[in-house]
């Protein structure tokens, strides 16, 4: 679609996209050197919602730090708390009952679907189509209602505890989840009919913003962004944790490297998450939801611990350096969007501003998670 371009670096102007701009979905600022509608150079400026979560991790006990994790990514918060509890449990040697792990997997996957749904709506809204957002939010609402019933929160969950869960799921939740799966599958078909086949939609995404696999490796991009560029990497498969090895699911990978590929990966992932939820509900064992042997105050042995989990946005890693105290000596969060976002500067050079902002939408940025 786009015409061949001859950029003139001497006749440019500076455009500030953000920190308050509808396309950045948060307080991200992009300084764009523009030649008309074309971007000569872009520079992302971070830090507008920096809240020092890593530093807080050094000053709070591990349990006190739990709620912080769900403030990173307000769309897929469960994945982040999951990473933290897994890291601490492994370091402290706490055995988690199987039922708790299953419920964790089910809720994390529900949260992933919710996150992807919201992304889907916001992404199509970036392209100028408003209605899919409302449909997506309605489906997401069912998930939030279910999660609210068991976790007590709608966005910033603090559901997982070291050694188990805060609350067991009841029959209502299981019933609701079972009812939700076929309904969601029907919705996915509807989204496909409404959006995926649309000519305008495809023209705006196909072949736009190619991000090669090398570039993904260079910037450390993970998750759907990397999988849209042909990198078959999913922490759930490659470095299995929790009860994921017991589930049968595929990792959708597309080799087109364009915005459409990233879209397709996420749409397929929703279906795979539904498969996991389905199997989890089927296999859900009875038993306790909390470990019996668990120290009152958790002190990790001296050492260096790292745990990666696959969140909705990619590989989230938490590194805890412990000096044996009840809070961490140093805590480092590797947030996936931080790496994914840095693709933007390089990839959008020479791109139209329209395509660049569509590309930004396809990266699924959540700004509080970048800034931490």
Contact range with other proteins by CB under 8 A, out of 112-120, 122-130, 146-154, 283-291: 122-130
- For the bound state, the minimum distance from the C-beta of residue 98 to other proteins, rounded and expressed in Å, comes to 40
Helix crossing, 98-126 with 131-151: angle to 10°?
A: 160
150 lies in the binding site for other proteins (CB under 8 A): no
Contact range with other proteins by CB under 8 A, out of 16-24, 56-64, 77-85, 96-104: 16-24
Radius of gyration in angstroms for the set of CA atoms belonging to the chain, rounded to a whole number: 21
CA distance 247 to 239: 14
- For the bound state, the minimum distance from the C-beta of residue 76 to other proteins, rounded and expressed in Å, comes to 22
Q: Pick the closer one to other proteins by CB: 24 or 272.
A: 24
Q: Pick the closer one to other proteins by CB: 136 or 320.
A: 136
Site residues for other proteins, 35-54, by CB under 8 A, read 36-37
Tell me the C-alpha to C-alpha distance, in Å, between residue 235 and each of 224, 231, 309, 313, 316. 12, 12, 6, 12, 9
Three-class DSSP category at 120: helix
Specify whether the CB–CB gap between 54 and 68 falls below 8 A.
no
Cis bond leading into 19, ω under 30°? Answer: yes
Token duo for residue 114:
């919710």
Q: Pick the closer one to other proteins by CB: 18 or 314.
A: 18
1 lies in the binding site for other proteins (CB under 8 A): yes
> Quick one: which of 116, 142, 204, 372 contacts other proteins (CB under 8 A)?
204
Tell me the C-alpha to C-alpha distance, in Å, between residue 62 and each of 101, 144, 235. 19, 26, 23
364 lies in the binding site for other proteins (CB under 8 A): no
> Quick one: which of 129, 207, 210, 230 contacts other proteins (CB under 8 A)?
129
- For the bound state, the minimum distance from the C-beta of residue 197 to other proteins, rounded and expressed in Å, comes to 12
Q: Which of 104, 71, 89, 66 is nearest to 247 (CA)?
A: 104
- For the bound state, the minimum distance from the C-beta of residue 274 to other proteins, rounded and expressed in Å, comes to 22
> Quick one: which of 7, 12, 19, 21 contacts other proteins (CB under 8 A)?
21
128 lies in the binding site for other proteins (CB under 8 A): yes
Q: Pick the closer one to other proteins by CB: 53 or 204.
A: 204
Residue 32 burial (10 A CB sphere; 0-12, 13-18, 19+):
buried
- For the bound state, the minimum distance from the C-beta of residue 209 to other proteins, rounded and expressed in Å, comes to 13
Tell me the C-alpha to C-alpha distance, in Å, between residue 98 and each of 32, 275, 369. 51, 19, 30
- For the bound state, the minimum distance from the C-beta of residue 297 to other proteins, rounded and expressed in Å, comes to 49
- For the bound state, the minimum distance from the C-beta of residue 50 to other proteins, rounded and expressed in Å, comes to 25
Token duo for residue 332:
């480092």
Q: Pick the closer one to other proteins by CB: 36 or 67.
A: 36
Q: Pick the closer one to other proteins by CB: 128 or 152.
A: 128
207 lies in the binding site for other proteins (CB under 8 A): no
> Quick one: which of 30, 40, 75, 127 contacts other proteins (CB under 8 A)?
127
Specify whether the CB–CB gap between 166 and 160 falls below 8 A.
yes
State the DSSP H helix or E strand holding residue 40, giving kind and residue range, or none if neither: strand 38-45
Token duo for residue 133:
């957002």
Task: Kindly list the residues in this chain that would bind other proteins in the complex (CB under 8 A).
Answer: 1-3, 13, 15, 21-23, 36-37, 124-131, 134-135, 138, 194-195, 198, 200-201, 203-204, 352-355, 357, 361
């Amino acid at each position: 679609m786009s015409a061949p371009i001859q950029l003139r670096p001497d006749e440019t102007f500076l455009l500030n996209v953000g920190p308050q701009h509808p396309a950045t979905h948060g307080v991200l600022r992009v300084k764009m050197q523009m030649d008309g509608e074309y971007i000569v150079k872009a520079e992302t400026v971070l830090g507008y919602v920096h809240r020092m979560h890593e530093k807080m991790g050094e000053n709070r006990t591990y349990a006190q730090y739990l709620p912080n994790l769900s403030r990173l990514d307000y769309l897929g918060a469960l994945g982040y708390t999951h990473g933290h509890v897994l890291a601490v449990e492994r370091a402290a040697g706490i055995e988690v009952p199987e039922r708790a792990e299953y419920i964790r997997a089910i809720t994390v996957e529900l949260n992933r679907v919710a996150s992807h749904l919201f992304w889907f709506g916001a992404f199509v809204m970036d392209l100028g189509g408003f209605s899919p957002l409302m449909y997506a939010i309605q489906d997401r609402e069912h998930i939030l209602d279910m999660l609210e019933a068991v976790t007590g929160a709608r966005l910033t969950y603090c559901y997982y505890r070291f050694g188990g869960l805060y609350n067991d799921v009841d029959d209502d939740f299981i019933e609701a989840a079972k009812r939700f799966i076929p309904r969601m599958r029907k919705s996915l078909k509807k989204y496909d009919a409404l959006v995926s086949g649309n000519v305008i939609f495809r023209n705006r995404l196909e072949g736009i913003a190619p991000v090669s696999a090398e570039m993904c490796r260079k910037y450390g991009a993970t998750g759907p962004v990397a999988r849209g560029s042909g990198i078959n990497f999913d922490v759930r498969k490659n470095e299995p944790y929790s009860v994921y090895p017991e589930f049968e699911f595929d990792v959708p990978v597309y080799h087109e490297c364009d915005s459409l590929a990233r879209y397709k990966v996420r749409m397929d992932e929703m279906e795979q998450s539904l498969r996991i939820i389905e199997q989890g509900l089927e296999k859900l064992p009875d038993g306790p939801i909390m470990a019996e042997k668990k120290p009152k105050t958790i002190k990790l042995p001296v050492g260096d611990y790292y745990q990666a989990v696959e969140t909705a946005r990619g590989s989230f890693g938490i590194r805890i350096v412990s000096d044996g105290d009840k809070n961490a000596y140093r805590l480092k969060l590797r947030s996936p969007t931080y790496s994914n976002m840095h693709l933007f500067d390089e990839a959008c050079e020479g791109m139209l501003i329209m395509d660049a902002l569509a590309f930004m939408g396809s990266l699924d940025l959540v700004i509080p998670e970048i800034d931490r």
